[in-house]
Amino acid sequence: MASKFIHAIYSDDDLLMQAVKQIRDKRYHIGEVYTPFPVHGLDKLMGLEPTRLAICSFLYGLAGLAVATWMMNFMMIEDWPQDIGGKPSFSFIQNMPAFIPIMFELTVFFAAHLMVITFYMRSKLWPFRKAENPDLRTTDDRFLVELDATNHNVEDLTKFLYDTGATEIKLIEN
């Protein structure tokens, strides 16, 4: 059985928000929404779950803090202790005020770099990957809502989408 999708194009972000609300009220499945800029509140209207990337960022920051603590303890206390500025290197705790900037910087470094890698892996944005944008106008000034129309009457769905303010509707069959 071939799958059918409908691409409804909207010209305004406020109109898009109202249309998404009406589409969700009618219990149609929205596959994806393509916008030229972030539309605040759209994720809640679509019913998307909150992201867990913040938890990953916190864990990556903890890993950076642990690496910084281990690295400074090993280099400055165990491996090659030096008397720098009259500060003895007998213990990590005595030198902790001098180590705080390094600990902060490595925490931020690990969180930032590992978050970028996690985002790319989660989004499946690999190098040389072909873009999946179905209509190039969504990178300029149009908004596109992709609906699954496999189990729906296409004529009724098309009429409903025109009533929500869609300026153009295309039927895509795979």
Q: Is the pTM of this model over 0.85?
A: no
Residue 1 pLDDT greater than 80, yes or no? no
Rounded to whole angstroms, how far apart are CA atoms 169 and 162? 8
Of 46-55, 84-93, 147-156, the range with the lowest mean pLDDT is: 84-93
Q: What is the pLDDT of residues 14-39, one digit of tens each?
A: 999 999 999 999 999 999 999 999 99
* Confidence class for position 91, pLDDT limits 50, 70, 90: confident
